[in-house]
Amino acid sequence: MSDTHAAVEAVWRIESGRLVAMLARITGDFAGAEDLAQDALERALTQWPTHGIPQHPASWLMATAKHIAVDRYRRQLNLVDKLAAIAHEPITALSTEGDPMATVDDGLAASVPDDLLRLIFTACHPALSLDSQVALTLRTVAGLRTPEIARAFLVPEATIGQRISRAKRTLTDKQVRFELPSALDLPSRLGAVLAVIYLVFNEGYSATAGDDWTRPALCHDALRLGRVLARLQPDEPEVHGLLALMELQASRIPARSGPAGEQLLLADQNRRRWDRLHIRRGLTALQAAETLGGGPYTVQAAIAACHARAPGIDATDWARVSALYTVLSYLSPSAVVSLNKAVAVGMADGPERGLALADELQTHPALVAYPALSAVRATFLRQLGRPDEARAAFQQAADLTSNVSQRAIYQRQRDNPAPHVPKAAP
């Protein structure tokens, strides 16, 4: 890729959200605005390498999109004129509206935050499938190009292209208006936006060694989206809660694999490798979230913060972790939350209490054949001085997992007579 090409794409990543948002508000047509913006980008990609990058690239993109829009509008008017001539009847309705593009002004900066927020809510509209919401958000708000999204999600380019065109058609067909959700709808609509951002983050976070670098880069795309949203919706606790959770999880990335590329559990990670800048930003966002009231993301972030603040596994405030899991099990109950609570209780109140909770979960339908449950039980059994049962439980965990690296961990634990700290999450 040429330097100019890379420069165009950089300008695009910075400007695409604002550009599409402003065009969509002016035209009232999200799909059309997205097309216009993409057409302006294509012109930049052909013209800038030969004519050089303009002095004010953002204004150039906006002006170009306007010209394209005006051209199309005029062509439509011509068509209307021709139809009118055929019908021998004057048509005045359209011409009296004037040129809608005349209202475009690059100095409309004051309305940009609201435009951007409309854009995010539209891209994550419930009329769209989750896959489409993700693709549309990354393309319009984060300014990624279709091939980048395809590479990051390990799907063919055509698949992403189809998701985006289908999404735009759905928004047009269902006459979804380019607007902010009502106060009544806001909680669920905001929840959808947060879910999309967290999905992008987890897609990057779960990328394994050897994957294309664009996959882990998704973590940072999600973080930037989270930061953008925190600026746009500063009074929403869960916006800060999700941002805190992502920053704190990202802080552990440098420490989560060992010398041979094997996955390291929280207990085995070298905490000096945790990224301090992410931790600081995460704790700041968490404070904002807790001040505003919190929610499930905030509680998960608070748990992650307990680990981030602790110099080691034994110095962790397990009583607080366990209390937070109790809160989380009310706010968003799940079998995995219950299992993590059992781990925290075991660390806080001793292995006997932890094992009792873990044993209760053995009949839970979601945890039948769940390797982590066997591993947690095994760890508590070993701590309680029941080595034969511990070995059998680690073996069971190794048999249940289909993940090679995870199986190696369980086998190592099975053969390691020293008590091992159980796996805690998140």
Using CB under 8 A as the criterion, which residues of the chain lie in contact with other proteins when the complex forms?
A: 3, 6-7, 9-11, 13-14, 55, 113, 144, 202, 205-211, 213, 216-217, 219-221, 223-228, 231, 249-258, 261-266, 269, 273, 275, 277-278, 281, 401, 403-406, 423, 425-426
Q: State in angstroms the smallest separation of the CB of 179 from other proteins.
A: 21
Nearer to other proteins, 137 or 269 (CB): 269
Q: State in angstroms the smallest separation of the CB of 258 from other proteins.
A: 8
Task: Tell me how far the alpha carbon of residue 356 is from its chain's centroid.
Answer: 36
Nearer to other proteins, 128 or 376 (CB): 376
Nearer to other proteins, 74 or 273 (CB): 273
Distance CA 66, CA 102 (A): 9
Distance CA 426, CA 418 (A): 24
Indicate the SS3 state at residue 9.
helix
Q: State in angstroms the smallest separation of the CB of 328 from other proteins.
A: 13
Question: At which residue do the structure tokens 């796996």 appear?
Answer: 423
Q: Which long-range contacts (CB under 8 A, 24 or more apart) does 186-189 make?
A: 188/126, 189/121, 189/124, 189/126
Q: State in angstroms the smallest separation of the CB of 142 from other proteins.
A: 8
Q: Within a 10 A sphere around the Cβ of 405, how many other Cβ atoms?
A: 14
196 with 124: CB under 8 angstroms?
yes
Q: State in angstroms the smallest separation of the CB of 50 from other proteins.
A: 19
Q: State in angstroms the smallest separation of the CB of 17 from other proteins.
A: 8
Q: Take residue 16 and report the two structure tokens written for it.
A: 């695409």
Nearer to other proteins, 3 or 388 (CB): 3
Q: State in angstroms the smallest separation of the CB of 265 from other proteins.
A: 6
Distance CA 298, CA 213 (A): 29
Nearer to other proteins, 249 or 316 (CB): 249
Buried b (16+ CB within 10 A) or exposed e, 12-47: bbebbbbbbbbbbbbbebbbbbbbbbbbbbebbeee
Indicate the SS3 state at residue 30.
helix
Q: Which long-range contacts (CB under 8 A, 24 or more apart) does 63-66 make?
A: 63/106, 64/40, 65/19, 65/23, 65/36, 65/37, 65/39, 65/40, 66/101, 66/104
Q: State in angstroms the smallest separation of the CB of 172 from other proteins.
A: 28
Residue 270 φ/ψ, nearest 5 degrees: -80, 105
Q: Take residue 37 and report the two structure tokens written for it.
A: 């913006």
Distance CA 63, CA 70 (A): 10
Q: State in angstroms the smallest separation of the CB of 193 from other proteins.
A: 14
Nearer to other proteins, 155 or 255 (CB): 255
Nearer to other proteins, 170 or 405 (CB): 405
Nearer to other proteins, 190 or 424 (CB): 424
Give the 3-state secondary structure of 148-173: HHHHHCCCCHHHHHHHHHHHHHHHHH
Nearer to other proteins, 68 or 354 (CB): 354
